[in-house]
Amino acid sequence: MNNLTQLKILVVEDDAIVAQDIVDCLLELGHSPVGPAYELATAKRLIAQQTVHIALLDIHLETREDGIILSAWIKNEFCIPVIFLTAHSDYITLSKVKKVHPDHFLVKPFNKAQLKATIEITSNNFYNPNPRYDANAKAVLFNHRVDNVLTKREIDVLLLVCKGLSNQQISEMLFVSQNTVKTHLKNIFTKTDSTSRANLIGKFNQF
């Protein structure tokens, strides 16, 4: 992702009026809204079909915890930052939210300035980590420089490859078969346009 000022932002909100307000606000801020999606299935389809840099998720969709369930799925499959939008900030809601580690939390009603600040802070922290970032943060940065993003499991394999582990060692570390490791590696090579382990590691170490 070369231009961090214009982000593709998934909007998931079950109130059509609120959703449109958010979309209009994002356009005014110079971003590219994806959606809106009013329920879980549409949100999953949208994020699977195109690049998304940030997800704005209402917590309560069809059921009270749909947004939380969606957040966990997004972070596991696509490794992108999530901002929760909600009118609820009670103890029970916050306790459930903290379990999925969102990147930000915005309480409704909010204005354009608040949304702008939240997006900018989230984007900066996620895509421009502190120079003393660890391997996981480095992997996130690497992942968003490739055309087809790696899944969470592929990132796990990538990090172990970069540590010099063999397929057998990786399979033992991740509790999967060596054939599964080979499949993940094949996908990683394809997505990163790498021809070998050494080529992949060289690309990773550029970050």
In this model, does residue 1 exceed pLDDT 60?
no
Q: Are residues 60 and 84 in the same domain?
A: yes
In this model, does residue 3 exceed pLDDT 90?
no
CATH number for the domain harbouring residue 84: 3.40.50.2300
Q: Are residues 119 and 44 in the same domain?
A: yes
165: Cβ contacts below 8 Å, ≥ 6 apart: 173
**Mean pLDDT over residues 161-177, rounded?**
93
pLDDT tens sequence across 174-206: 999 999 999 999 999 999 999 999 889 888 877
Q: Are residues 153 and 90 in the same domain?
A: no
pLDDT tens sequence across 62-76: 766 688 889 989 987
Q: Are residues 117 and 162 in the same domain?
A: no
- Per-residue confidence (pLDDT) for residue 76, from 0 to 100: 79
Cβ atoms of 158 and 164 within 8 Å: the answer is: no
Q: Are residues 98 and 147 in the same domain?
A: no
**Mean pLDDT over residues 30-41, rounded?**
93
> pTM above the 0.85 mark?
no
In this model, does residue 134 exceed pLDDT 80?
no
Cβ atoms of 165 and 138 within 8 Å: the answer is: no
